[in-house]
Structure 1
């Protein structure tokens, strides 16, 4: 137990009464005092006890001073604020006057690690000057990284003028329909683009140097802090504008620099020869970042093509009398799927195409084998439909790569072509990277049409539309992780390629997990934040449960129910909160039970820990991101216990690569990485400690680890509304909560402040589902009584 001393001073300048001290120059006594332990817990003595020393209970005022010694007895890391109130009464039989003195005190118990991670400098919010357009001459002439990567960059955006954004609310607030499909989505896309333009301004750089690349004298190198975390987002093929620092001439001369390579915190740029001839090392520039409008243009075109090609029955399928077609028995490539009735049902219905022209949906909660099901369906379509052509896509390269890798286990490689965007790192071994030309190539339309299966991201699928592949060429289009993509993004590779009557669209995903990542609150609230998958499942009767039977119609949608990932105690929380308690435990018992006897579990056999702490929300420098060193101390302590107890008492061995740490803020991620890899002398010595994954929630979607630790960070109610307004952190965001707690196989550890978390209905319900965990002294902060009192 640690003892911290604090001295509280009471003197004539402290008094809260408005009366003058001269009026009360008599003898007073402290009649009573009390404390209000802010953000305290019912069983506070388990954490902190106080003893007050009052050297002399009475005094003549004014000109006197009292020192009150306060001792904090602390057993756990944390930040403990309290309010001390003293009540003074006149020492006289006739005296009826009284007044109070209030003191705010706080105690913080931290290790050397927390002190090392403390703010390096005070927080100073970035002041973004209002943007003022100045006359400028743009000098082009730099070489883009790939010659074929032109696309429709010069197409005019429909409704591109700013006045269009001032349309009445009627369009925004009207329900989405095929009749307003194009106008509403293009308005939402404009709102999102305007927000992107505003946000990118905060990253503009002034009076910074550039140097010449050592290996390629035609490229200049610019140091861009934060670019590795997409702050700002800079991809290969993008461009930025550079003007010479100190140049006051008007119109200003701005040079367009194309991004050839992004490396950690620097980018390599190709500028016009006019600048290169004048350039000397360490020359200073003002840099203006730009957004990649090409991706927005593809979405604008997609919604326009959807209307032009009459995809109403695909995007707004109507209830109709569907004929039950016979389903051919299948011999699956992955024989394990034959034992799973939901997976087998989904594959058979997809192969038969019974939902056509309506999309077929595979609703895959965490760990239920959604991607495995989709891959099996693609293989079966290729096997049973010799004339079929298949487009398999996903929003991210990682998800698309996974599709491609799994397809190649049973499909001949010469039938599959993986098409990459020019922004991809060529070192990753891309199909369409030409080593001789040193650039990405785009095969001819005729060559692409020879392949049975094309695999690409939903964005790069737009190249197929631009390349002239005819509508109806692809008989099946599959989109995995469809819940991640905004609807206009999802249909980039659908509109213009899928025949509205004979084509079969298959969407796989989970609407209960993270959706599209957007910036504009208006665009999010008025519908752009809703994926096509989620819109169909929440608004279309074909994909809802039957009111009488309570079942989904397997002709249009299958919900996978067998969870192959998590221990029952871990699965219980999301199962009850989000999945109607329908998920079934089918995880490998050896793996999911591997930490049921861990000595640090509050309850043996229940591998879920909520560790309640009262930390402090902090920021540093110009970063608006929060961190909490108290929670980092607890996380590091658990991490060391995990790595030190492996193999003991029958526990399985574990390496850092099998552990994941999730936090809602990038600054917390950064501080945890510093603690593990730099500051803690025991952890930094481990050879494989860099394989420990620490990241924000978005980086963990679709992933799993044997052990997951979650840092919730937020410990002050002052910022809760900000989190809610800007959809930050875990509060008021049940999808982010769901993803965080469903990554673990064998052990889930959550560290946070239960008082703050209890303000959120999802967390309140989640904490109530693990009452037995919270009775141990180490998690006393999460007592059932506390949760009851704060509902």
Structure 2
């Protein structure tokens, strides 16, 4: 603290407070607790308040080019009928750099202040005067406050603080301030980076610049109300609320001081990057209106027809670029975009004359997504307002809307974390766990556990009074992580009747495994209510998509739909099982958990894992389990990825623990797979660290690693976003039928559920294989996308790679495109490690050995695999014919002829300021040529006159 900050008028207040014994109510903590427990947090804290105006004299976010810096914010507050009673600073990280200097009215200091919190009792003269004038509604009768907040620093850095303004009987107003003290030579680079991050997106249509009519339909489920009120708390990042700091660009790693601010910043950067990807599909287009449409089949199944309800219409939207799983933007649009905004052009023809419409936009629901077309449902309000008619064309601007709920949930999870010490454990703490296994389990269980598993369970069941940092249970596939966790939780539930356990997974399938494979049988065999789990599903999930065994442990309403739990539901059960995303419904319940276990923790972003940790206390036993070589979430921002957003909480804590830390337990003995498969995956992905500990037998004829060569062709239908390969479909059908017919019962046991699994990267291939097997009466074979099988296992696994030597090697080798098993090692690892006794791959060997980042992995696979359909000599001849990789992207000889899909108006072309190979095109509403181009010569220029185009070059456009 500098001398200038200690010599101020506040010191008089502090001394007087000590003399009179003033009690400060810890306003910030009280508000935080209410905010965390509130179902609608905006009712507790907001940015604005009716009849209250808060005006700072300078910007809330500042950059100061000095090592020693000082600043004072002066907040002018005008309030009508709502006296100011509390002001408090909220963040602990930089308290020594900020202080409340004074609160005054009519140039007189009022209340009591201790530099961090100010309090004015309800009995004060000012409060009573405002109450007496509470019916006043004019600002001329407003009470005028002046609040001064000081800042001082002696070194470069980023300093953040939050200020809470509490008014009587109203929600609290929060303002965030930040100071970036940076060297002078860095200011230009930082400003350029900020402009780049914020400038890569075109102008979004919001309620600030448009009248937006939300989509409403009785035939489409309403939006989750959480999205609306969380979006009010965490608005979309823009120049007014987002501040890219110097520390984010220069400092590596998270610390307790920068944790919340840094994560908030990185989540905002990631949202901006994802929004940029989606905006690549924004366009001016001609929409075809209809009352129904028919989806051509992607497979041999029947076509699907959809009919609009009375008053609504469907619109067929042609896309300006292909929609595919191969590209980042395509994957994001397919998985995270369920609505679009449609804005009519300013001039619209009516039967009598042209009318000028206001700047309005209508939200439309995305019904189906195809490769080159999207079908959207227009609401009755939109149809009536724009006088739309069936079987006509409608010209409009279209913006795709990214689902913001995940980002808002991440922001809230960051703010709800009760203590950063939970995620920054004290590695100097001497952890001593009493070793008495015979006290907790019998000899039969002891024989099933290896030493590392016993060690993990002993830490889990250690007395709660022993403070233990987060326990990391690391282990590759098949090493018994799920078994160890389930056995440990069983012991905890039986031995400690006061225990309350929250078990979270990244996927629903992994959560269901704990119910089906463990707790269902344990509960039914003992009828011990402590072993009866509560499985919480998202309330919008269709009930028929959940396994019948799991449904018995779920909460449902009177209409047999899933519902959120209440406090009584949680108190009634000892074990709560859910996903990380759904665990947010527990935050508002005042329940303390003795144990929080996160399985698949390596597959979750750190901010996702914080959703569950919001329910933790300092005494809560935390267990993080996972395999960092399995699939991880995709991070779209390079900056956010480099600064640690893509790193899981499990990995980050693992990197901080020393090698011999007692809370870092590595399981290396594989009990699930044949020794040959274990050796392969150990060498490919785990540097030989896995040991085979099973006695599973191989097939009497087939090698555990088998390859079936197929020279087919990947195909993408007009209405498909992925690819399929019919040759591989038929080959898989033949081989699965052959394996089931000659199933080796003596070696593998009887055939049943989970015996054979077929995996593919593309949904289109999954559907075709399912139909082919159904024709052959093989419906009992599980056919899934790889993304859906984490945690599952099969005796024999068939993998269909789909892609062939005809795909673009240039874009694959440079990570421009994602070709599944050719370019994603984690995807390949997840698929291979689902197999217990047989991995049978069906695909094009030339493509696997010449295309993408997985070439070396496939080479090692072929060294141990038995080949069918091609011999090594012939394969080598094929490989010798493959030309060298060209230095520039080659033309694709199989590419389809380019046919413009949109009408031909004179667009205004605007190049976005980022290194991409294409422009973003927007309609210029002020250009009369557009009206002529879309509606014909009667609305614009002479038809023979050529439209004009204006371009703004970009230095990145030619890269």
TM-score (norm 1): 0.66
For 1:282 and 1:637, the matched residues in 2 are separated by 46
Structure-1 residue corresponding to 2:480: 369
Kindly state the Cα deviation for residue 531 of structure 1 after the two structures are TM-superposed: 1.4
Cα-to-partner distance string for 1:306-363 (whole Å, 9 max, x where unaligned): 3xx3323534542433334344535549955642223332112111169844211222
Kindly state the Cα deviation for residue 584 of structure 1 after the two structures are TM-superposed: 3.7
Structure-2 residue corresponding to 1:768: 860
For 1:715 and 1:137, the matched residues in 2 are separated by 50
The DSSP-based 3-state class of the residue aligned with 1:489 is: helix
| 1:40-189 equivalent positions in 2, closer than 5 A | 136-140=210-214, 142=216, 145=221, 149-150=225-226, 152-157=229-234, 160-162=237-239, 167=244, 170-172=247-249, 174-178=251-255, 179-189=257-267
Structure-1 residue corresponding to 2:948: none
Structure-2 residue corresponding to 1:302: 413
Structure-2 residue corresponding to 1:485: 604
Conserved in 1, the CA contact under 8 Å of 2:509 and 2:788? Answer: no
Residue of structure 2 aligned with 1:407, choices 495, 503, 519: 519
1:458 and 2:580 are equivalent in the alignment: yes
Residue of structure 2 aligned with 1:743, choices 834, 840, 843: 834
Conserved in 1, the CA contact under 8 Å of 2:535 and 2:576? Answer: yes
Conserved in 1, the CA contact under 8 Å of 2:530 and 2:573? Answer: no
Kindly state the Cα deviation for residue 446 of structure 1 after the two structures are TM-superposed: 5.6
Residue of structure 1 aligned with 2:595, choices 476, 482, 486: 476
Structure-2 residue corresponding to 1:660: 757
Structure-1 residue corresponding to 2:790: 701
For 2:421 and 2:868, the matched residues in 1 are separated by 57
Conserved in 2, the CA contact under 8 Å of 1:173 and 1:526? Answer: no
Name the CA shift for 1:659/1:743 in 2 (closer, same or farther; >3 Å).
same
Conserved in 2, the CA contact under 8 Å of 1:227 and 1:266? Answer: no
Residue of structure 1 aligned with 2:815, choices 725, 738, 741: 725
Residue of structure 1 aligned with 2:665, choices 558, 582, 589: 558
The number of aligned residues is 624
For 1:284 and 1:435, the matched residues in 2 are separated by 45
Name the CA shift for 1:520/1:511 in 2 (closer, same or farther; >3 Å).
same
For 1:432 and 1:146, the matched residues in 2 are separated by 21
Kindly state the Cα deviation for residue 610 of structure 1 after the two structures are TM-superposed: 3.3
Conserved in 2, the CA contact under 8 Å of 1:730 and 1:737? Answer: yes
For 2:747 and 2:239, the matched residues in 1 are separated by 67
Name the CA shift for 1:227/1:628 in 2 (closer, same or farther; >3 Å).
closer
Name the CA shift for 1:317/1:684 in 2 (closer, same or farther; >3 Å).
same
Conserved in 1, the CA contact under 8 Å of 2:710 and 2:842? Answer: yes
Name the CA shift for 1:748/1:447 in 2 (closer, same or farther; >3 Å).
closer
The DSSP-based 3-state class of the residue aligned with 1:709 is: strand
Kindly state the Cα deviation for residue 747 of structure 1 after the two structures are TM-superposed: 1.5
Conserved in 1, the CA contact under 8 Å of 2:605 and 2:648? Answer: yes
356-365 vs 148-157, which deviates more?
148-157
Name the CA shift for 1:570/1:704 in 2 (closer, same or farther; >3 Å).
same
The DSSP-based 3-state class of the residue aligned with 1:387 is: coil
Name the CA shift for 1:586/1:772 in 2 (closer, same or farther; >3 Å).
closer
Name the CA shift for 1:608/1:389 in 2 (closer, same or farther; >3 Å).
same
Structure-2 residue corresponding to 1:311: 420
Cα-to-partner distance string for 1:345-397 (whole Å, 9 max, x where unaligned): 21121111698442112223212232222122222222222222221111222
For 1:401 and 1:158, the matched residues in 2 are separated by 35
Conserved in 2, the CA contact under 8 Å of 1:445 and 1:468? Answer: yes
Kindly state the Cα deviation for residue 160 of structure 1 after the two structures are TM-superposed: 2.7
The DSSP-based 3-state class of the residue aligned with 2:401 is: coil
For 1:216 and 1:270, the matched residues in 2 are separated by 10
Structure-2 residue corresponding to 1:540: 656
Conserved in 1, the CA contact under 8 Å of 2:289 and 2:390? Answer: no
The DSSP-based 3-state class of the residue aligned with 1:701 is: coil
For 2:456 and 2:314, the matched residues in 1 are separated by 51
Name the CA shift for 1:150/1:514 in 2 (closer, same or farther; >3 Å).
closer
Cα-to-partner distance string for 1:434-471 (whole Å, 9 max, x where unaligned): 225x8654444465445433222212222222x1526x
Residue of structure 2 aligned with 1:435, choices 555, 558, 570: 558
Note the residue ranges of structure 1 that are not aligned, 5 or more in a row: 1-128, 547-552
Structure-2 residue corresponding to 1:22: none
| 1:358-757 equivalent positions in 2, closer than 5 A | 358-405=469-516, 406-408=518-520, 409-410=522-523, 412=529, 416-427=533-544, 428=546, 429=551, 431-436=554-559, 441-445=563-567, 448-465=570-587, 467-469=588-590, 473-495=592-614, 497-499=615-617, 501-537=618-654, 539-542=655-658, 544=659, 546=660, 553=661, 555-587=662-694, 589=696, 592-593=697-698, 595=699, 597-598=700-701, 601=702, 606-611=703-708, 619=716, 621=718, 625-626=722-723, 631-632=728-729, 634-646=731-743, 658-664=755-761, 666=762, 669-671=763-765, 673-674=767-768, 677=771, 685-689=775-779, 691-712=780-801, 713-715=803-805, 718-719=808-809, 721-722=811-812, 724-726=814-816, 728=818, 729-731=820-822, 733-754=824-845, 757=848
The DSSP-based 3-state class of the residue aligned with 2:509 is: helix
Note the residue ranges of structure 2 that are not aligned, 5 or more in a row: 1-199, 294-305, 349-355, 885-959
For 1:189 and 1:449, the matched residues in 2 are separated by 34
Conserved in 1, the CA contact under 8 Å of 2:743 and 2:751? Answer: yes
Structure-2 residue corresponding to 1:124: none
Structure-1 residue corresponding to 2:288: 207
The DSSP-based 3-state class of the residue aligned with 2:212 is: strand
Name the CA shift for 1:393/1:716 in 2 (closer, same or farther; >3 Å).
same
Name the CA shift for 1:215/1:717 in 2 (closer, same or farther; >3 Å).
closer
Kindly state the Cα deviation for residue 748 of structure 1 after the two structures are TM-superposed: 1.2
Conserved in 2, the CA contact under 8 Å of 1:614 and 1:752? Answer: yes
Cα-to-partner distance string for 1:16-43 (whole Å, 9 max, x where unaligned): xxxxxxxxxxxxxxxxxxxxxxxxxxxx
Conserved in 1, the CA contact under 8 Å of 2:456 and 2:665? Answer: yes
For 1:761 and 1:722, the matched residues in 2 are separated by 7
Kindly state the Cα deviation for residue 490 of structure 1 after the two structures are TM-superposed: 1.0
Cα-to-partner distance string for 1:724-757 (whole Å, 9 max, x where unaligned): 5257223453322211211112211224455554
| 1:218-229 equivalent positions in 2, closer than 5 A | none
Cα-to-partner distance string for 1:258-288 (whole Å, 9 max, x where unaligned): 89999xx999989577868989888988776
| 1:243-282 equivalent positions in 2, closer than 5 A | 248=348, 250-256=357-363
The DSSP-based 3-state class of the residue aligned with 1:515 is: coil
Kindly state the Cα deviation for residue 644 of structure 1 after the two structures are TM-superposed: 4.9
Conserved in 2, the CA contact under 8 Å of 1:774 and 1:783? Answer: no
Name the CA shift for 1:711/1:631 in 2 (closer, same or farther; >3 Å).
same
The DSSP-based 3-state class of the residue aligned with 1:423 is: coil
Conserved in 1, the CA contact under 8 Å of 2:684 and 2:860? Answer: no
Conserved in 1, the CA contact under 8 Å of 2:536 and 2:554? Answer: yes
Cα-to-partner distance string for 1:668-711 (whole Å, 9 max, x where unaligned): x5246436625xxxx5532334x444444322322222222223
Name the CA shift for 1:748/1:685 in 2 (closer, same or farther; >3 Å).
same
For 1:130 and 1:536, the matched residues in 2 are separated by 35
For 2:769 and 2:367, the matched residues in 1 are separated by 33
The DSSP-based 3-state class of the residue aligned with 1:176 is: coil
The DSSP-based 3-state class of the residue aligned with 2:839 is: strand
For 1:718 and 1:724, the matched residues in 2 are separated by 10
Structure-2 residue corresponding to 1:346: 456
Structure-2 residue corresponding to 1:90: none
For 1:412 and 1:369, the matched residues in 2 are separated by 26
Structure-2 residue corresponding to 1:77: none
For 1:240 and 1:714, the matched residues in 2 are separated by 35
For 1:786 and 1:730, the matched residues in 2 are separated by 20
Conserved in 2, the CA contact under 8 Å of 1:330 and 1:348? Answer: no
Conserved in 1, the CA contact under 8 Å of 2:532 and 2:575? Answer: yes
For 1:518 and 1:710, the matched residues in 2 are separated by 26
